[in-house]
Amino acid sequence: MSKTAQNTDSLPSHLFRQAVEQAAQAISITDARANILYANSAFARITGYGQDEIVGHNESILSYRVTPKLVYETLWAQIQRQRPWNGLLVNKRKDGSRYLADVTITPVVSEEGETAFYLGMQRDVTEVHRLERQVQNQKTLIESVVDAAQVAIVLLDENERVLLDNHEYKKLIGDLGKEPAVRLLAALREQLGDVWQEACDKHRNLPAREVSIVAPNRPVRWFSCSVSWFEEHDVGADAFYEPMRRHYLLLTIQDIGELKRQQEAIRINGLRALLAEQERVQGLRETLAGAVYRLEEPFNVLSAVAGLLERRLSTQGADGVPVQALEEALRNSREALDTLRACIPEHADEAVQTIDLNETLADVLKLATPQLLGAGIVVEWLPSDKPATVSGHAAQLANLFKQIIDNAVEAVNERRGGKRELRVTCRVHPDHVEACVEDSGPGIAAELRYKVFQPFFTTKGAAKNHLGLGLAMAQEAATRHGGSIDIDPDYRIGCRMRVQLPMTNGGSHD
Ligand code: FAD
């Protein structure tokens, strides 16, 4: 006799019956054909059949006839091999209502190895199933809403492992390779520094931030990313009495490349309009100043002549009428000159700021792109590896380089045949920044190297609408910024314009 049997022998025999009778779970005992021989009170409670009513009936009385036949075949195949079976069956109570039963059937094997009885135990799991289905439905609903969203959404655990993502995020993986979320989080971490660390430590949400991803040989991609945290109670058994929380990070990613392109186009167009206006005003200033300068010369001669005439006439005692008339004419001319001088527009009042010449040059090249493409000019742009910071007026400096680059494009266009190249470089020296614009045009003759910076000097002639003010204005801007502009005499395969400006030292150069 086994040890267990020995132990139970000491228990009163009615104890087993009472235990089964009072068990909270529905229990039934059947013969080998599933005819019910015994059912406990919990069985009666679940099925609605009184204990006396059910005895003698087959268990199939409970079948609602929707459970697939295969389930019953499996059930019987299993228990006939003297193995317990467990599964879900759709049952019908005495009143016709249905419930989902979690049924376990255990063959009761005799000492001879025969199965004469089966022990059936069942629980009504309708409510559990309803809740499970509800959760499943909600999950499906959430997943389909998330999937339909026009922004990429990705859920990560605290180790930045992706747990859930949506259709838009999968498209991002296609574009950027794996794993865009991790790359964007790294970019956010670098951009935000301590703010990011604090947000992670305190699980604080972060509003949308603009982040860029740079991939080799690919254009920069811009995204707007926002981070929200939420916590979940651990569902493991360990955490049943001692709740543990897990934090998850929800990253929402919106591709703002198009928006950035539009913003950039607006910025460049604004710059183009500003430079055009500045060029117009500066041209007007230079023209009026030039005109005043030119008129002053004959005016001074006339003044001298009038003085001479006056002296002569007075010594000869002659009539002073012609002199008076001349003086009248001179007074009128002086007034006209003063009026003209007053019309010279002032320099635009532009704030002094720290400027990276690399950005200025890149902007000016962008402005010149249509001309460069139209002329089929190959551009080589070599920015400095460090920021080329100078202090000054952004629009004036942009205009300075625009004049030089416009001249370089025209020079290349002048040359028939040969290379059509433009090379723009920016270098940072210990105390100054040097920007060079080299073109493959005809170059500038040695005797003209200084003249070209004089107002109204032009090699192109008025027929081409050239006033000869471009380089004069560029030089004026360089001087106003404490720098210089010159033509490299050693450059012989075209023209190399060199602009040198002091490194950032703040203050105005006005
Ligand atoms: P069928 O599967 O077509 O068979 C009709 C009857 O023939 C069966 O009820 C059974 O008495 C007998 N039978 C069928 N196959 C075999 C076989 N291979 N060997 C011996 N006899 C067989 N069903 C439920 O729907 N709900 C329950 O809660 C439920 N509880 C059960 C509890 C126990 C302990 C056992 C042994 C069976 C239980 N069954 C239950 C199964 C039930 O006996 C039927 O098999 C099932 O209801 C299918 O009904 P049916 O009329 O289509 O029967």
Q: What is the DSSP string of 43-61?
A: HHHHH---HHHHTTSBGGG
In testing the pocket of ligand 1, which one of 29, 72, 98 has its CB within 8 Å of the most ligand atoms?
A: 72
The atom of ligand 1 lying closest to the CA of 34 is 36
Residue type, 244: M
What is the helix (H) or strand (E) element at residue 77, kind and residue range? helix 69-80
Q: Is 236 left (phi over 0), alpha (psi -120 to 50) or beta?
A: beta
Give residue 509's pLDDT. Answer: 43
pTM of the predicted model as reported, rounded to 2 decimal places? 0.60
Tallying the residues shown for the chain, one arrives at 510
Letter string b/e over residues 427-458, b meaning 16 or more CB atoms within 10 A of that residue's CB? bbeeebbbbbbbbbbebbeeeeeeebbebbbb
CA of 120 to the centre of ligand 1 (A): 11
Ligand 1, atom 15, residue with closest C-alpha: 76
Q: Which fold has domain 15-124?
A: Beta-Lactamase (3.30.450)
CA of 103 to the centre of ligand 1 (A): 12
Residue type, 93: R
Ligand 1, atom 2, residue with closest C-alpha: 72
CA of 63 to the centre of ligand 1 (A): 9
The atom of ligand 1 lying closest to the CA of 28 is 34
Closest CA to 410 of 458, 451, 455, 354: 458
Letter string b/e over residues 309-348, b meaning 16 or more CB atoms within 10 A of that residue's CB? bbeeeeeeeeeeeebeebbeebeebeeeeeeeeeeeeeee
For residue 214, give both structure tokens: 């740079």
Pocket of ligand 1 (CB under 6 A): 28, 30, 33-34, 58-60, 62-63, 67, 72, 76, 80, 89, 91, 101, 103, 105, 118, 120, 122
Taking the C-alpha atoms of residue 38 and residue 41, their distance in angstroms, rounded to an integer, is: 10
- CB-CB contact of 403 with 366 (8 Å): no
- CB-CB contact of 26 with 46 (8 Å): yes
In testing the pocket of ligand 1, which one of 60, 91, 93, 109 has its CB within 8 Å of the most ligand atoms?
A: 60
Strands lying side by side in the sheet with 98-109: 36-39, 26-31, 115-124, 98-109, 85-92
In testing the pocket of ligand 1, which one of 28, 35, 59, 89 has its CB within 8 Å of the most ligand atoms?
A: 59
Give residue 350's pLDDT. Answer: 74
Ligand 1, atom 25, residue with closest C-alpha: 63
In testing the pocket of ligand 1, which one of 63, 67, 82 has its CB within 8 Å of the most ligand atoms?
A: 63
CA of 24 to the centre of ligand 1 (A): 24
Please provide the DSSP assignment of 247-306 as one string.
EEEEEEEEE-HHHHHHHHHHHHHHHHHHHHHHHHHHHHHHHHHHHHHHHHHHHHHHHHHH
For residue 91, give both structure tokens: 């049952």
Check if 15-124 and 149-255 are the same fold: yes
Report H helices in 82-241: 126-148, 167-176, 180-192, 194-201
Taking the C-alpha atoms of residue 311 and residue 306, their distance in angstroms, rounded to an integer, is: 9
For residue 381, give both structure tokens: 């742009």
Domain-by-domain residue ranges, the chain?
Answer: 15-124, 149-255, 266-342, 353-502
Report H helices in 317-393: 321-342, 357-375
DSSP state, residue 454 = S
Ligand 1, atom 51, residue with closest C-alpha: 60
Closest CA to 108 of 169, 160, 38: 38
Ligand 1, atom 33, residue with closest C-alpha: 120
Triad 504, 507, 510: Cα angle to 5°: 115
Residue found under tokens 């609602």: 64
Ligand 1, atom 30, residue with closest C-alpha: 59
Ligand 1, atom 31, residue with closest C-alpha: 59
Ligand 1, atom 11, residue with closest C-alpha: 33
Task: Encode 23-42 in three state secondary structure.
Answer: CCCEEEEEECCCEEEEECHH
Please provide the DSSP assignment of 395-452 as one string.
HHHHHHHHHHHHHHHHHHHHS-SS--EEEEEEEE-SSEEEEEEEE-S----GGGTTGG
pLDDT along the chain (510 residues), means of 10: 63 90 96 97 96 95 94 97 97 97 97 95 96 94 90 92 93 89 94 92 93 82 94 82 87 94 91 86 79 83 81 68 75 86 77 93 94 91 93 91 91 83 95 95 86 72 57 88 93 93 62
For residue 90, give both structure tokens: 């759709």
Taking the C-alpha atoms of residue 223 and residue 213, their distance in angstroms, rounded to an integer, is: 8
Give residue 4's pLDDT. Answer: 56
CA of 25 to the centre of ligand 1 (A): 20
Looking at 3.30.1280.10, 2.40.50.70, 3.30.56.10, 3.30.450.20, the CATH number of the domain 149-255 comes to 3.30.450.20
Ligand 1, atom 35, residue with closest C-alpha: 34
Q: Which fold has domain 353-502?
A: Heat Shock Protein 90 (3.30.565)
Give residue 314's pLDDT. Answer: 72
CA of 131 to the centre of ligand 1 (A): 29
The atom of ligand 1 lying closest to the CA of 64 is 25
CA of 68 to the centre of ligand 1 (A): 12
CA of 73 to the centre of ligand 1 (A): 9
Ligand 1, atom 39, residue with closest C-alpha: 59
